[in-house]
């Protein structure tokens, strides 16, 4: 029997993987996103509702989610800007969605982020935490998944930046050496969403999605360099914090004009603080294990296009 799933942010990197995973599991999927053009370009064979979820009234949510067995929230923004409102996407949307679903048995699968907390200095983590709290207090049937750094065949945002850093000719940047990083493959994230959507994971589960291994940010960059097929660097180039601050300040200014640079303050601060999680709760919930970095890279061999993109970026 086909059941209906609605995926918020369905044409994004994570959302699109969730759509494909849910379709493979037999769900009839509807996507929600604010750009009709991006929805068309996604190539996904789903029905689309074009709407800005940060501004949708509860009545519109009721119409959009009517008859849904599962709602997957894969929508998100990294930083406030000309096109993005963190509070609207991460908090207001969740509160209104929950109000629209009150009294239903719809399962909500919330894709949050590892490391979120209400008192986080980063607005990204703080608003994500507030949205999670709103869902947890809603009385609905929910599962909250908190992935670490998501890797996928397609590069976007921070992962595009890391690929570019890994592709510098003859040199590798030695930046944020104390930062620790863990990764999760986008297919494993989508698999976790399917496990939650089909009831293989109990309601009320809050779990990080992460590999068991952990490494420094520079070592992560070196691993990506080897994956891309570049020769080992001839030397390491230390990047002073002051220089990084200047770059993020410039990126923030450009971000207010509409370009979502991965060098904006929130992205860099998140990497600097470390992107790590605990795989224990997910394993205890019966979730399938997430692949380690070596397995992730082996499962998506780098192509000539990957190398061109990384160098050009």
pLDDT in tens, 171-189: 888 887 888 999 999 999 9
What are the chain's domains? 4-148+184-211+276-291 (3.40.50.720)
Choice between 289 and 78, residue whose per-residue pLDDT is larger: 289
CA dist 178 and 203 (Å) reads 36
pLDDT at 262 (0 to 100):
57
Choice between 80 and 71, residue whose per-residue pLDDT is larger: 71
Burial class (CB in 10 A: 0-12, 13-18, 19+), 40: exposed
Q: What is the phi/psi pair of residue 309, to 5°?
A: -60, -45
Q: What percent of the chain has pLDDT over 70?
A: 87
DSSP 290: P
Choice between 218 and 85, residue whose per-residue pLDDT is larger: 218
Average pLDDT over the chain reads 90
pLDDT at 258 (0 to 100):
57
Specify the pTM.
0.91
pLDDT at 12 (0 to 100):
94
Given a cut of 90, whether residue 193 has pLDDT beyond it is yes
pLDDT in tens, 221-237: 999 999 999 999 998 88
For the segment 158-168, the average pLDDT, to the nearest whole number, is 85
pLDDT at 263 (0 to 100):
59
Crossing angle, helix 265-273 and helix 123-136, to 10 degrees?
Answer: 80
pLDDT in tens, 45-66: 999 999 999 999 999 999 999 9
């Amino acid at each position: 029997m086909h059941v209906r799933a609605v995926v918020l942010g369905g044409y994004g990197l994570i959302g699109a993987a969730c759509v494909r995973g849910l379709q493979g599991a037999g769900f009839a999927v509807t996507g929600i996103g604010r750009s009709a053009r991006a929805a068309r370009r996604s190539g996904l064979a789903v029905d689309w509702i074009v709407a800005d979820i940060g501004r949708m009234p509860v009545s519109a949510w009721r119409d959009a989610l009517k008859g849904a067995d599962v709602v997957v929230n894969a929508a998100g923004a990294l930083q406030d800007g000309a096109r993005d409102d963190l509070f609207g996407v991460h908090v207001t949307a969740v509160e209104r969605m929950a109000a629209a679903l009150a009294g239903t048995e719809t399962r909500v699968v919330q894709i949050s982020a590892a490391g979120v907390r209400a008192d986080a200095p980063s607005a990204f983590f703080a608003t994500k935490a507030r949205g999670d709290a709103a869902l947890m207090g809603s009385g609905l049937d929910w599962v909250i998944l908190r992935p670490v750094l998501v890797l996928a065949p397609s590069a976007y945002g921070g992962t595009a930046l890391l690929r570019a850093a890994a592709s510098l000719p003859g040199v590798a940047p030695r930046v944020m050496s104390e930062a620790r990083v863990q990764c999760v493959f986008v297919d494993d994230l989508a698999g976790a969403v399917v496990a939650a959507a089909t009831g293989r994971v109990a309601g009320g589960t809050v779990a990080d999605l992460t590999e068991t291994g952990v490494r420094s940010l520079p070592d992560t960059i070196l691993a990506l360099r080897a994956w891309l097929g570049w020769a080992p660097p001839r030397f390491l180039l230390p990047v002073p914090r002051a220089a990084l601050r200047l770059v993020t300040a410039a990126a923030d200014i450009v971000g207010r004009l509409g370009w979502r640079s991965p060098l904006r303050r929130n992205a860099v601060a998140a990497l600097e603080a470390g992107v790590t999680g605990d795989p224990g709760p997910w394993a205890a919930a019966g979730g399938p294990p997430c692949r380690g970095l070596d397995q992730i890279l082996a499962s998506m061999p780098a192509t000539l296009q990957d190398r061109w993109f990384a160098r050009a970026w």
